[in-house]
Homo-oligomer: A and B are copies of this chain.
Amino acid sequence: MIYLSCDYHHGAHPKIMERMNQCNMEPNTGYGEDPHCAHASQMIKDLCQDQSVAVHFMVGGTQTNTTIIAAALRPHQGVVTAVSGHINNHESGAIESTGHKVIGLPSDDGKLSAAQIHEYYLAHKQNESYEHIVMPKMVYISNPTEFGSIYSKAELEEISRVCHEDGLYLFMDGARLGYGLMSPENDLDLPVITKCCDVFYIGGTKCGALFGEAVVITNPSLKEDFRFILKQRGGMLAKGWLLGIQFETLFEDGLYFEICKHAVDQAMRIKKAFESKGVAFQVDSPTNQQFAMLTADVIRKFDEKYATCDDEKPTGKAVRSVRFCTSWATDPAEVDELIKDIEAWC
């Protein structure tokens, strides 16, 4: 079985394991107050070209999304997202469990537009029942999105402008940020993201780490007492240095970017193979996730040899979207094999 169903099928990049082995018997202070976390934070500040940001390390994505949103909002405020946003669909109601409404706006490709955000803001503000409707206060975007699409610099800057004019926090879920930044179509970088967002995170779990997400907070009012909320929501890892070590390693000599580029390169090969056979995509993705539209017959063939992600299966549709997902760990030889099969079966 060749594993292409997600980007968290393997342990960590070997360099991370090596460093964790080296540091294993080194005594450290707990809860993220150790030199590894301090060093990794500093590396991130440098990469973001902003020494004023606050950096926190957390274990996983749902935990990170929930903690950030719970820390930011008052009880009557909600978070705006594309309907396909991870917080709306795949976190078992984690955000609502903190008391906040997730406000889903329609989107075909997983992205929100600045116009859409401003329109929703205005519709609420001018409504006669203003005080009877949840106040939008934060905008959640994922980059890359759940469909692999990415925001351009111009799009992000326009969203940021609208958010700040309308008093909305802009929060970017970067669980797969590395795969976005290394896309051939990308024109964003960490300093621009830092300037545009009030808070975002750089994903480790899906990009080479055993686990870990690095939260970067730029808005001073979101920095206050963040560690209390981190602890309250079960997100303060006792042996916090495990997170520090992983991000230290990822950001040394550009390892993070190098291994994410590898994954995107492999995905682009898969994309091209499907395209050459005239297969359509649910969304045109320039990153490590490719959603090919396949018939049930073809899917059956792939299922015997490849682990993929087929969320549409219950619908029983004749043509369904199937996700092929590469990662830092994807073996090019397995992609060779896949390309041959695409050519034969599609």
Please tell me if A63 contacts chain B, counting CB pairs below 8 Å. Answer: yes
| Interchain nearest-CB distance for A169 vs B (Å) | 15
Q: A11-B20, A24-B12 are in contact. Are A62 and B231 (CB under 8 A)?
A: yes
Contact string against B for A residues 10-53, beta-carbon threshold 8 Å, 1 for contact and 0 otherwise: 11101001001101111111110000000000000000000000
Whether A344 sits at the interface, judged by CB under 8 Å, is no
Q: Is A131 an interface residue, CB under 8 A from the partner?
A: yes
Instruction: Please name all residues of chain B whose beta carbon is closer than 8 Å to the beta carbon of A112 when the two chains form the complex.
Output: none
CB atoms of A233 and B232 under 8 A apart: no
In chain A, positions 223-243 with a C-beta closer than 8 Å to chain B are 225, 227-229, 231-239, 242
Identity of the chain B residue whose Cβ is nearest the Cβ of A22 in the assembled complex:
B11
Size category, A interface: 35 or more
Q: Smallest Cβ distance from A71 to chain B, in angstroms?
A: 7
Candidates B90, B100, B235; contact of A133 at CB < 8 Å: B90
12 sampled A-B residue pairs with Cβ under 8 A: A8-B238, A9-B29, A12-B24, A17-B21, A62-B231, A75-B93, A76-B93, A91-B132, A93-B99, A96-B101, A127-B314, A211-B238
Given contacts A9-B29, A71-B75, A97-B233, 7 further A-B contacts (CB under 8 A): A1-B27, A9-B30, A10-B28, A75-B232, A76-B93, A76-B231, A135-B228
